[in-house]
Chain A
Amino acid sequence: MKQSLHSTTLGNGITIVGERLPELESVAVAFHAPVGAIHDPSGKCGLATVTGEMCLRGAGSRDSRQLVEDLESAGVQLAQGVSSTHISVSGAMVARQLAEVLPIYADILRRPLLPADELPAARQMVLQNLAGIEDEPAHRTLAALRRLQSPAPWGMPTEGISAEVESIEIDDVREFVAQNLQPAGMIVSVAGRIEWDDFVRRVEALLGDWQAAPAPPVAKGPRGAATLHVTHDAQQTHVAVGWPAPPYRDDTSHEATAALAVLGGGPSSRFFTEIRERRALCYTVSAGYQTSRDFAHAVCYSGTSADRAQETLDVMLAEIARLPGTITRDEVDRVKARAKSGLIMQQESSAARANAFARQWYHLATLRTLAQELERYDRLDVAAIEAWLAANPPRDLTVVSLGREPLEVRHALPA
């Protein structure tokens, strides 16, 4: 398949990556600024998130309302998000609108007004979101797992901590923007009906003269405890289990993600078969993979009635322990089929493609064609996955439960 993948890096360190998908009417664009929750100062957890919200509350010549209304008039499906490492603003739209809206995105990044009178509302919005999360037991369980097994500050909640968000003042936001929101390492990703050269010219005209002042790297601190129980009075108990895995850029990340897919990646996976189909212990069960640039984790989750939670955890741990040495060719063939068809179907979504390119560039500093991605899956086999598992059996497990009663970690796994 002929693909038109492109990348170019401007003098100030902004990399533009993208693909022309001429069959689509749409285009998706995303700006990923290399600043996120890991840059939150001590005692101000949530500052990046408040800042991301504040950047939309007026930029350039537009106030908060004008900004949103002009994007929506153009039919832009606007999104803004903050991760541990990035503040991102993105949009999907009918392709002809792109030229008109790019200057608005440039204003959001370079000329946010950060008006003092908008801060109480932005802060309150973040606090409302945090209160809403209190009512989402699955989200809380997975966030607790992430916080324990990631090195500080990568595990800190990107959404913030209520008591600390309340203390954020407008000068905190302005200082955070001045120090951290800058072009070096920023990724602009685009996919859909675009003319590449024209797109690069426009981005360069808007962002090319932005001076870079890279923020110093963030040091990694210690990780948290190996187990945690959060008391929560509800019918169901939620269980999350994780352990270290190689990051996406590592040569063996495909073997690792394939092993996790065998464990809990689809309806024929071992978790689904043993925990839901065979024992009917739960409605939801999964195993997946979460990667940062320098480290990654396996993440397993299930939610079940309080009186069946211990058995659910026992079976999860037993299946994790059973994985090395038992993977079959049929299982690997199914994992490959699912992964490959997912990659091919991504071609139908400009937003999915734009996300995939940004992710590749951030982790690998290169773009892989679809053919290269498929070829990596073709090479996967039982021997390669088993070799990786033999060298890297699941160990250093972190176990989190959220529910009425704590659970026992009964299965002996290598420490």
Chain B
Amino acid sequence: MPFLHERLPNGLDVIAETSDAAVSTSIGFFVATGSRDESDDVSGVSHFLEHMVFKGTPGITGDEINHRFDAMGASANAFTSEEDTVYYASVLPEQQHEAVDLLGAMMRPALRGTDFDTEKLVILEEIRMYDDQPPFGADDRCRASYFGRHPLARSVLGSVESITDLPVEAMRDYHRRRYAPGTMVLAASGAVDFPALVESAKRLCGDWEPAAPAERRRPQPPRQAAHPGTERIVKATAALDYAVWMVAAPDEFHDDRHAARLLAILLGDSSGSRLYWGLVDSGEAEQAACLYQDFLDAGLFITQLSCDAADVETLRERIASIYAAAAAGGLEPAEFERARNKLASRVVLGGEKPRRRLFDIGLDWSHARTYRSVSDHLRLVEGVMLDDVHRVLQAWPLDAPAAAVIAGPDGEG
């Protein structure tokens, strides 16, 4: 799978991983901005802006955008996280030109006041939707407790208050500052005509004004929970308790990140893991999982537990003892092999999907200006040894004081 790269004079990087086997083309703009780049007075603006990008440019209405994507048979959407805003479309190769044209134009949205007021109501509905479903805001609250005053504490959606109070001028200003060519990547994967992609980029994006890139990795994030302890969210109607807790893990650039990923699979994958056999297989927990999430300068081991409210404390203790046993007694070579095979198989199967590759190469380039092929990923996974995972267990203890939140039917802990 050849990798191609060209930088426009204004700093916009254009990259592609091409595949002869692919029958589709995936195209995306990766903007290095998310909730961590916001301030209190604009909390939620990155995600709200992502919606507004679909509401049109000075020359294209929101309806036209929807019609044009559907007319080209595109599967198009966007997402916003703590660190990234990504706009993408998967199309048949003959639609590459049209898809890049539309996505490129959208990156310079009109941000009309009337659209802004209407879309605000949709964002508020989205906030209420997540508020009404598991884990009832426990994940956001827990991240806030873990990160304390660090910007990674911010909610991607924002709150009803912050969205209600947000003025359109603040969004326009945020867009001017954050959607500069030097902090954006145009990426493509699958059946890509790269010369045509670069031509499109020059025509559409060549006149974007460069802006001085802002340093994102400050201040130093905490290496432990800023506010350890357990908070409660009362949801009187909830059938189960939903607990989430977070401790420190390696960041995205740490050599041990693959070992951390393997450790999370071994301990807390949705099947075949120690938590699975210890809590889920018996039907005591609806879910018990350990996830590894990495950021530019921080990482988290996130434990999620859902179960009957009467059992939540017992099962939290059982998970703590599973973690303690792993740290004290180490891991079995056979379970380590299984976890590594599982992860390697996921890398290969995921590598067959151009959409998935788009996200991998786009985020790698946006964060680190590096490219890793599927084979590179496979080598990294297969290069992890049991000792590496043992080192992670010692250096990033899962039984460290955690930030924890339980959402459930009553206030008793």
Contact = CB atoms under 8 A, between A and B. Distances in A.
Given A76-B345, A135-B240, A342-B75, A121 B122 contact: no
A24 B122 contact: no
Interface residues on A, range: 35 or more
A64 B238 CA distance: 32
B238 A135 contact: yes
B73 A233 contact: no
Contacts of A236: 125, 128-129, 132
A339 B286 CA distance: 36
Interface string B135-173: 000000000000000000000000000000000000000
Interface string A26-48: 10000000000000000000000
B73 A282 contact: no
B352 A280 contact: no
Interface stretch (B216-224, B225-233, B275-283): B275-283
A89 B250 CA distance: 36
A75 B69 CA distance: 37
A136 B131 contact: no
B352 A348 contact: yes
B125 A283 contact: yes
A305 B125 CA distance: 7
B10 interface: no
Given A124-B283, A125-B281, A348-B24, A92 B67 contact: no
B61 to A, nearest CB: 10
Nearest to A352: B353
Given A64-B281, A132-B286, A272 B71 contact: no
Contacts of A78: 271
A293 interface: no
Interface in B226-267: 236-240
Nearest to A26: B349
B407 to A, nearest CB: 10
A135 B134 contact: yes
Interface in B324-354: 337-338, 341-342, 344-346, 348-349, 351-354
A68 interface: yes
A73 B282 CA distance: 22
Interface residues of B, number: 67
B136 to A, nearest CB: 8
B24 A344 contact: yes
A127 B346 CA distance: 30
A376 to B, nearest CB: 16
Interface stretch (A144-152, A218-226, A330-338, A405-413): A330-338
A410 to B, nearest CB: 22
Given A135-B133, A135-B134, A345 B271 contact: no
Contacts of B134: 132, 135-136
A192 to B, nearest CB: 9
A108 to B, nearest CB: 14
B119 A124 contact: no
B73 A342 contact: yes
A137 B132 contact: yes
B6 interface: no
B74 A341 contact: yes
Contact of B345 (A75, A127, A350): A75
A304 interface: yes
Contacts of B345: 75-77, 93-94
Interface of A: 23-26, 64-65, 68-69, 72-78, 92-94, 120-129, 131-132, 134-138, 232-236, 266-268, 272-273, 276-277, 280-284, 303-305, 330, 333-335, 337-342, 344-345, 347-350
Interface of B: 21-24, 54, 62-63, 66-67, 69-76, 90-92, 95, 118-122, 124-126, 128-129, 131-134, 236-240, 271-272, 277, 280-287, 306-308, 337-338, 341-342, 344-346, 348-349, 351-354
23 contacts: A25-B351, A68-B272, A69-B272, A72-B271, A73-B337, A93-B349, A123-B283, A124-B282, A124-B283, A131-B240, A131-B308, A132-B134, A132-B239, A134-B239, A266-B69, A267-B70, A276-B122, A305-B124, A337-B70, A341-B72, A342-B75, A348-B352, A348-B354
Counting from the closest, the 10 A-B pairs by CB-CB distance are A124-B283, A75-B345, A341-B73, A23-B21, A134-B239, A280-B121, A337-B73, A267-B66, A125-B283, A128-B286
